[in-house]
Amino acid sequence: MNSKRKCLHCGEELDGRADQKFCNDSCRARHHNTHKNPGEQEIRRINSLLRHNRKVLRTLCPEGKTTVRKDVLDRMGFNYEYFTRIYRTQNNQVYFLNYDYAFLPLVQEGTKKVLIIQRQDYMDRYELPLWPEIDKN
């Protein structure tokens, strides 16, 4: 009895090594990605959103600093809820960092805009007080 082995992902017949489980690397990767636990899938989803946001910021800010209308970022699929860090200035402006780019929501002349800058070294030195009422003591 000669039973044909099949790819664990797509079901296509295999004719390679005796221990082969997948017909190609794409099927292997897809099979393993679909069988990861839900926590791992959520991490992949969020990392994908962060990478997309960084790509949008990098595309719009090739020179290190620019201001664009919010609707430009919206059209490019930017998700304002996902960022990697927060930097608060001494003037209480809040920059949202996405790896090596930061954005600051603004309203100029009644229009929602976003200031985009490349991350600066001084942004690494700021400590955000997580428990300000305790840190004062």
Q: What are the pLDDT digits (tens) for 5-62?
A: 999 999 999 988 889 999 999 999 889 888 877 788 889 899 999 999 999 999 999 9
Cα(137)–Cα(121) distance, integer angstroms: 29
The mean pLDDT value of the chain amounts to 89
How much is the pLDDT for 16?
A: 82
- Of the candidates 91, 102, 31, which has an alpha carbon nearest to the alpha carbon of residue 67? 102
Cα(8)–Cα(84) distance, integer angstroms: 37
- pLDDT band at residue 1, thresholds of 50, 70 and 90? very low
Query: Looking at residues 103-128, what average pLDDT do you find?
Result: 90
With a pLDDT cut of 90, the percent of the chain lying above it is: 63
Which residues lie below 8 Å from residue 71, measured CB to CB, with a gap of 6+? 112
Cα(28)–Cα(53) distance, integer angstroms: 28
Most confident stretch, 17-21, 82-86, 133-137: 82-86
- pLDDT band at residue 132, thresholds of 50, 70 and 90? confident
Query: Which two structure tokens, joined as six digits, stand for 85?
Result: 């860090």
